[in-house]
Structure 1
Amino acid sequence: MTESEEIRNNNGSVVTTDIEVRCCNTDALRDQLESTIKEWAIRDNWPAGYDSIKFSTLIDPEANFVGLLNKEIVSMVSAVNYGDQLSFIGTFLTADGHKGKGYGTQLFRECLQHAGDRVTGLYSNQRMTEWYKRHGFVQTGTCSIFRKPYTGKVDLPADFPVACIIPAKDLDFADLCRFDRSYFPADRPEFLRAWLSHPKVILAPAFVKDGVIHGYGVLRQCIGDTICKFGPLFADSFVVAEQLALAMLNAVPEGTEIVQFDCLDDNPQTDRLAEKVGFSPTGELHGGRVLWKNGRPEFDVSGVYAYTSGAFG
């Protein structure tokens, strides 16, 4: 439908909007959004993941919303509902030249309506935090981005437990889902199955000892193939997290420029891990905010060394 109304923008002035707000519930619109994300990511050197609309649709077919002007996407946002209890908001962007017109506000209202009364989370930069608070969100913590330049394979310690590192795809899938659920606040089996098997995943190692899963991680290429990210990296101890991180670093392909992981600062061990494996905070990107609405979910943050992505939590 076409919306036309007055909205106050970030500086308090009134703007009139005229935009077609659509839920991406058709293949054609999903393909258009996927192409737009890829175009913006390459243009702005933004480390977005491949096929994010495909992944979100597996969890929630009506997760993505766009604002259209003359059939062109000028704004986007997602609210991924994990069943009846949890929603996560991400990929909230408006094209340059269209900011300050209220387009993002209209889409955000739409995704909040989609999330309903679920516990709803998002990651924010410092500039947007107060704006989210005006929409009912409460800051509960901070998050960080760590990066390192790719310099080739890393030296593994002599006691590196090679026998304990196996492909996550070789695990009993139900066991892996149970492990994942300890460190993520919702069940997500369809998503995990697709995430682990995506062609842009370089390595998805698990740490298993005496038949017990102690951790797993995913190393994947971002759009453009010059940045690789860990996400997620879940482990029940610092030692396991470090060994999985080293295994993934050793698998980073030639041609990569940057390796990155995004983490919750609620786990103080993430700083230690970053220092141990040679990552540094990213300056102006360091120090994002974690916000929740309608409560806060329960999960074991002490085992979250890298969260999955900014779009999925």
Structure 2
Amino acid sequence: MSTFTEGERECIVRPMKAEEVALAIEWAEQEGWNPGRHDAPCFCAADPGGFFVGELHGEPIGSISAVAYDEHFGFVGLYIVKPAFRGRGIGLRIWRHAIAYLGERNIGLDGVVAQQANYGKSGFQLAHRNIRFQGIAHGTESARISNLCDVPFEQLSIYDRQRFPAPRSGFLRAWIAQPDVVALAAMREGRMRGYGVLRKCRHGRKVGPLFADDEWTGEELFSALISRCPGEMVSIDVPQSNAAAIALAERHGMASTFETARMYTKAPPAIPMARVFGITSFELG
């Protein structure tokens, strides 16, 4: 816990209780970020101690997540200060608390492009951009696509680790089992070639992650996922560095709505970005 004095008012930064994470998710909705309906318990499963709230006289006024996936990698998100309390240095205190929690880890974040220079002052460097594509779901089922629940979890965990900077088994178990979820896998001769998750959000649905060994597998998975919600609004957050992923979104009539800057404090993790067709979330990486 850390404190600072702003005039006569004292602000406290402390770990969130599990039930308080839903408040940060609600603030994210108010910011127009369209979080998932069941994000809070899934996020907590990643690192129960990695969520912080700033309080002023007992009133929650700001939040940040600083998920420590392992001893080498962490990710910052949900960095929000209520509008009435902005411009007072409160956000900076919350930020410093989160960065201190993650210590010497390589820290990632997805920040709005306009804030890239500010994150640079904290030692973050641009790795690539992520683009949110949005459109109406029109997909096709495929007999070659399986339910992810039929795949041994260890096999999924190994595949995911090759495409994400750190192990995240606790988070994955919660993410693929949340209510209203569609989780599918592409299997070839017993070997995983890709998987994707479609979750229900406050408005429409989001695909993420979408990992695939090649463009054709990515297309097949994506089409099968969105076939489960025909006519609904669907979005996917695509790494700008993956031209095949951008082409996939455009083939499905999706349009870019905004983008973020993926930044790290150290060298970008050695991830095969050509196999990342959709990131998991802007909040947790």
* Fold match (TM-score > 0.5): yes
Return the offset for 1:17: 6.9
Name which one, 1 or 2, has greater alpha-carbon Rg: 1
Q: Is the 8 A contact 2:9 2:56 kept in 1?
A: no
Provide the rounded CA distance (Å) in 2 between the counterparts of 1:166 and 1:2. 48
With over 3 angstroms needed to count, the CA separation of the structure-2 counterparts of 1:128 and 1:5, relative to structure 1, is farther
Is 1:177 the equivalent of 2:164? no
SS at match of 1:262: strand
Give structure 1 stretches of 5+ with no counterpart. 7-14
Provide the rounded CA distance (Å) in 2 between the counterparts of 1:186 and 1:173. 16
Q: Which residue matches 1:4?
A: 4
Aligned residue among 144, 167, 178 for 2:147: 167
Aligned residue among 97, 105, 108 for 2:84: 97
Provide the rounded CA distance (Å) in 2 between the counterparts of 1:167 and 1:303. 20
Aligned residue among 241, 250, 260 for 2:235: 260
Return the offset for 1:50: 3.2
Return the offset for 1:44: 4.4
Q: Is the 8 A contact 1:22 1:67 kept in 2?
A: yes
Aligned residue among 218, 242, 249 for 1:274: 249
With over 3 angstroms needed to count, the CA separation of the structure-2 counterparts of 1:218 and 1:281, relative to structure 1, is same
Write the mapping of 1:11-160 to structure 2, written as runs, cut at 5 A: 18-24=10-16, 29-38=17-26, 40-150=27-137, 153-154=138-139, 156=140
With over 3 angstroms needed to count, the CA separation of the structure-2 counterparts of 1:110 and 1:180, relative to structure 1, is same
With over 3 angstroms needed to count, the CA separation of the structure-2 counterparts of 1:268 and 1:108, relative to structure 1, is same
Is 1:196 the equivalent of 2:176? yes
Q: Is the 8 A contact 1:205 1:217 kept in 2?
A: yes
Q: Which residue matches 1:303?
A: 275
Is 1:210 the equivalent of 2:182? no
Aligned residue among 206, 210, 221 for 1:244: 221
- Quote the sequence identity (%): 30
Deviations 1:5-58 (A, max 9, x none): 57xxxxxxxx9973111112xxxx3313313522x3454443112343422332
With over 3 angstroms needed to count, the CA separation of the structure-2 counterparts of 1:246 and 1:136, relative to structure 1, is same
With over 3 angstroms needed to count, the CA separation of the structure-2 counterparts of 1:135 and 1:297, relative to structure 1, is same
With over 3 angstroms needed to count, the CA separation of the structure-2 counterparts of 1:239 and 1:2, relative to structure 1, is closer
SS at match of 2:218: helix
SS at match of 1:133: helix
With over 3 angstroms needed to count, the CA separation of the structure-2 counterparts of 1:89 and 1:132, relative to structure 1, is same
Q: How many residues align?
A: 285
With over 3 angstroms needed to count, the CA separation of the structure-2 counterparts of 1:16 and 1:232, relative to structure 1, is farther
Q: Is the 8 A contact 1:17 1:101 kept in 2?
A: no
Provide the rounded CA distance (Å) in 2 between the counterparts of 1:48 and 1:124. 15
The letter of the residue matching 2:275 is: G
The letter of the residue matching 2:45 is: L
The letter of the residue matching 2:272 is: D
Provide the rounded CA distance (Å) in 2 between the counterparts of 1:5 and 1:268. 49
With over 3 angstroms needed to count, the CA separation of the structure-2 counterparts of 1:16 and 1:146, relative to structure 1, is farther
Write the mapping of 1:279-290 to structure 2, written as runs, cut at 5 A: 279-282=254-257, 285-286=258-259, 288-290=260-262
The letter of the residue matching 1:220 is: R
SS at match of 2:143: helix
RMSD (Å) for aligned C-alpha atoms = 2.0
Give structure 2 stretches of 5+ with no counterpart. none
